[in-house]
Chain A
């Protein structure tokens, strides 16, 4: 039970932690500051509690696929907001890499991601911790998973912000591209579960290398949306989203005013 709790919580926390730390690092690199964190935290808590409370009615919607569709919408929503954040960090004529919208966009991305991942964790912990025999294992496993996820995020943050200015900016954008595309992949998989998309003709099968059920597979799924047998639609949407995010990054990184410092 403990190991299951660790993996489930780690999978959810790691995904949110890496995204949040990539945005935090980007905010520091572009000298935006962290004032946007407060509204993000409030919106995240409200979102987690709200979604966890409404999950029952949501699940019954759309012929029982409401939960999958909602989660997919949140994942894909995060991707588009992340793309908007990337575009908004282009350098302006006054040397700034942010506008009045950058902070709110970052807060929105964090709130959407934490709502999605946090509600899953909350439901899991609340459900199993109610059973006396599982309580200790679930709580301990959740704490270990959350600790590992947050620690990994913290170390990623310092790894990003301690790079030289321009490199740190590019690394932040690259991280956001991969995370965003991974979220689209997860969203597509959820839509397949809901029957909205068909997963036919797997392009490859990499189960022999990394099984989806293994711990590595679970963590790769969490961070990059790993799928051992991706279908054509999945792969196409993943590559399209990755291309979109990379294009936004290139546009932002090569914005006309290159003279400004980024750290």
Chain B
């Protein structure tokens, strides 16, 4: 199961990270390009200073010594050492390649001045402009400028050091992107949650709906994306409601329309029995078939009427024991005629339910027991509290139902394969199951303690009156 929220948050964080990091890299490259321009400009200034220094020095001394070294501008500016000796003709050793700056002044292939680099070879070729060169164990950015009288000025700055400061400055601006990413993730998580609130609300509203609640969803101003869903769901609910109403009407009309001809048939059978002998074989067969048809019609109507989608139960507090007493009394003649004993036990207990439906439930259970337990069996109805819940139990000592089939006997038209020859449509326990569902009750089948027969236990939810 995937969560829309988790998916959206993951995608948004990934997209945000990708775009912001790429933007940061582009910004970094642009900043470094700009920094390189500035640093190159500094190299130009250094060459200008060098040329100026060279010109002033030449005027002051009146001659150019063939090779002399001078202090670097940096040393004179950054590291003034009061009382320090002036550099001798062999050069100032304080400006080393490791300091990151070097220069040379060449004229007619002769080195006039240099610093920060051994003077044997030119730092770069004598082509005017910027370039990169490797010497002294480092990579350098070089600038070569042609002066007057065949003089070449070369200045160089270590490539690895020249960007250090610039890179540090740029990185300080990129770093917050990384450190604030978790904050962005948390923010995205909550924002997506808020954005999905209407969907959650719709889902909760549908979840809360009872199975028989076909009223339209209440969503006064649904978002554009949910409008079709709400519209379609409400249209579906309306169609469903209409279809169920038609089915309710059909069940009601069918009950009347089917019962009337069956009653007519029975009257005509009674009339026929006056003309024919009472034990005429054809008459007996027709009477049995009509009884079976009447029973089947009643069961079909029961199962239609008790569908949770159709049923609108009129729940009230019902005393199960009193109900069982009434039903048992009404069915006792049938049991007696079939040679079975029927007894009632237990105590008063109340449930919230529809009395007519509960009457049908118990009648079906007892009808089943009467049919399948067999002549001479004992059937007992018990009511009372069991496992802290109101419970109705119908027990018989007949052949029972094999454990493997107990889950299936609640299916409509399912019949246990037996050789008793008992007629039936396989609807009795299906009706029991439906009515139990309507009442939120649980139905269990087991074998009663002697190890023979069948016990059907119906556990009802605790009713307020019985608490």
Interface, chain A (partner B; CB < 8 A) = 1-3, 6, 133, 136-137, 140, 143-144, 147-148, 150-152, 154-155, 158
Contact = CB atoms under 8 A, between A and B. Distances in A.
B18 A144 contact: no
Contacts of A2: 28, 167, 170-171, 174
B29 interface: yes
A23 to B, nearest CB: 17
B174 A144 contact: yes
A158 B7 contact: yes
B322 to A, nearest CB: 55
Contact of A6 (B15, B18, B25, B178): B25
A161 B397 CA distance: 60
A78 B178 CA distance: 32
A158 B174 contact: no
B45 interface: no
Q: Which of A143, A151, A155 has the most chain B CB atoms closer than 10 A to its own CB? A: A151
Given A144-B24, A148-B22, A158-B7, A1 B167 contact: yes
A136 B22 contact: no
Contacts, number: 57
Given A140-B174, A143-B178, A151 B25 contact: no
Interface string B17-45: 11001101100110010000000000000
Interface string B134-174: 00000000000000000000000000000010011011001
Contact of B21 (A3, A136, A137, A151): A151
Contact of B168 (A3, A136, A151, A152): A136
Contacts of A155: 11, 14-15, 18
B17 A147 contact: yes
Contact of A147 (B10, B21, B29, B171): B21
Q: Which of A137, A147, A152 has the most chain B CB atoms closer than 10 A to its own CB? A: A147
Nearest to B174: A140
Contacts of B15: 151, 155
B404 interface: no
A140 B25 contact: no
Nearest to B172: A136
A6 B11 CA distance: 22
A154 B17 CA distance: 11
B403 interface: no
Given A2-B28, A144-B25, A151 B171 contact: no
Nearest to B18: A151
Contacts of B11: 154-155, 158
A148 B18 CA distance: 5
Given A136-B168, A154-B11, 15 more contacts: A2-B170, A2-B171, A3-B25, A6-B25, A136-B171, A140-B171, A140-B175, A144-B21, A144-B174, A147-B18, A147-B178, A151-B14, A151-B21, A154-B14, A158-B10
Contacts of A1: 167
Contacts of A143: 178
A133 B158 CA distance: 15
Interface string B361-376: 0000000000000000
A2 B31 CA distance: 13
A137 B25 contact: no
